[in-house]
Amino acid sequence: MRITCLNAWGGRMHGEMSAWLGANDPDILCLQEVIHVPNSPSEWLDYRDEGRNLLQRADMLADLAAALPGHDITFCPAARGPLWHGDSQVWSQWGLATAVRRGLPVTHQAQGFVHGSFGAEGFGPHPRSRTGHAIRLWRPEGAVVIAHMHGLRDPEAGKADTPARAAQAKRLAGLVEAVLHPGDGVIICGDFNVLPGSETLEHLSSLAPRELVTEGGHPGTRNSLYTKPERFADYMMVSDAVPVSQFDVIHTPEVSDHCPLVLTLA
């Protein structure tokens, strides 16, 4: 079984990402920074904020369905905010998506906010609302709980520990615990937006003590498209009950400014 985790960067590398996902063909995909604009006037829209103008793929749920036609997709929106098509404002939804290969038995799931609440009238100031999603997947070899989140962006604190980030980690742990049964394996992943050694990782280690990115000596999870000096943002944490066969941080091809994390279970 293959679990892949990726911050999709708003689908800015749609062609490369779709082709790679089709080839990777994960059993479970945990995807952050997903845009959904039903009935968009264009396949591409602009995100304009803080002097930035970032191209965004308008309906990534449709793109995911095309790239992974054998999967069921759950979208977990964190906010509703404006994108732009020329001079016209277009309302978009932004959040997480989890894709599960059709036929795999998801016996429980928990979805909720790890920070803030749903903002229907705009994205709001940073740090903005964030969602988390946890599923319990039955396997003959033993059930596993898989959870992910997109951690807070805080322009003032950078990737340093903050009380809001500590509370966020506790809420994600709560989603895991809501579906966890005795003896289950636990996998927690995502773009946590923190550095190695953070209290986010420390808190989540009570459920999943092995962090595979740093344990494997990987030099980071950002690629050449990310120009800032910090190279760590994304993590894959597992409990001792998870039968890890292989773990990779994929630097080539580049499908986002984040590297995909790929975990294969025995």
DSSP per residue over 168-224, as a string?
HHHHHHHHHHHH--TT-EEEEEEE----TT-HHHHHHTTT--EEHHHHTT---SB-T
Handedness of CA 255, 260, 174, 153 (dihedral sign): negative
Q: Which range of residues forms the domain containing residue 249?
A: 2-265
What global pTM score does this model have? 0.98
Rounded Cα distance between 180 and 171, Å, is 14
What is the reported pLDDT for 215? Answer: 98
Which residue is it, tokens 């997709």? Answer: 73
Domain count of the fold of the chain: 1
Cα–Cα–Cα angle for 166, 170, 173, rounded to 5 degrees: 140
Per-residue pLDDT of the chain (266 residues), as tens digits, is 999 999 999 999 999 999 999 999 999 999 999 999 999 999 999 999 877 899 999 999 999 999 999 999 999 999 999 999 999 999 999 999 999 999 999 999 999 999 999 989 999 889 999 999 999 999 999 999 999 999 999 999 999 999 999 999 999 999 999 999 999 999 999 999 999 999 999 999 999 999 999 999 999 999 999 999 999 999 999 999 999 999 999 999 999 999 999 999 99
**Distance spanning both ends of the chain, measured CA to CA:** 7
Task: List the CATH number of the domain containing 101.
Answer: 3.60.10.10
Which pLDDT belongs to residue 49? Answer: 85
The rounded distance, in Å, linking the Cα atoms of 99 and 26 is: 9
